């Protein structure tokens, strides 16, 4: 299972985009630096309680709702990574597909 900071970042990114905010505009709206916002969305930074309050408020949610949505991101994130992994499989070179006739 991915760490909570990664699931939270994915959730914030999805909700922000769905609300029609660019990363820079949303960061300005909640009064955090745009690079800090990017760091949160990539799961590189642990958000403080104050930052969680700002994120949730900017998205029209309570902190518990934001965290609940991040917990729900576990299954969709793992499903997505499974699909991406299956697409990235390398072809087997040197083997020929032979048909039996």
Tell me whether residue 45 is in a domain.
Answer: yes
Q: Is residue 79 part of a domain?
A: no
Q: What is the pTM of this model?
A: 0.71
In-domain check, residue 19: yes
How many domains are there within the chain?
1
Q: Is residue 80 part of a domain?
A: no
Q: What is the CATH number of the domain that holds 65?
A: 1.10.260.40
Residue 100 lies in a domain: no
Which residue in 56, 61, 46 sits closest to 7, CA to CA? Answer: 46
Q: Is the pLDDT of residue 93 over 90?
A: no
Express each pLDDT in 31-73 by its tens digit: 999 999 999 999 999 999 999 999 999 999 999 999 999 998 7
- Cβ distance 20 to 52 under 8 Å? no
Q: What are the Cα distances from residue 74, in Å, to 2, 42, 70?
A: 7, 15, 7
Identify which has the larger pLDDT, 2 or 80: 2
* Alpha-helical regions (H) of the chain: 4-18, 23-30, 34-41, 49-58, 63-87
Per the structure, the complete domain to which residue 9 belongs is given by 4-72
User: Is residue 59 domain-resident?
Assistant: yes
């Amino acid at each position: 299972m991915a760490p909570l900071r990664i699931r939270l970042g994915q959730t914030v990114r999805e909700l922000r985009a769905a609300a029609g905010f660019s990363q820079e505009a949303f960061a300005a709206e909640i009064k955090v630096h745009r690079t800090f916002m990017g760091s949160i969305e990539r799961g590189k930074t642990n958000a403080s309680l104050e930052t969680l309050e700002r994120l949730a408020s900017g998205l029209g949610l309570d902190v518990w709702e934001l965290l609940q949505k991040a917990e729900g991101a576990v299954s969709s994130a793992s499903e997505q990574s499974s699909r991406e992994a299956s697409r990235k499989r390398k072809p087997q070179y040197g083997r020929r597909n032979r048909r039996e006739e």
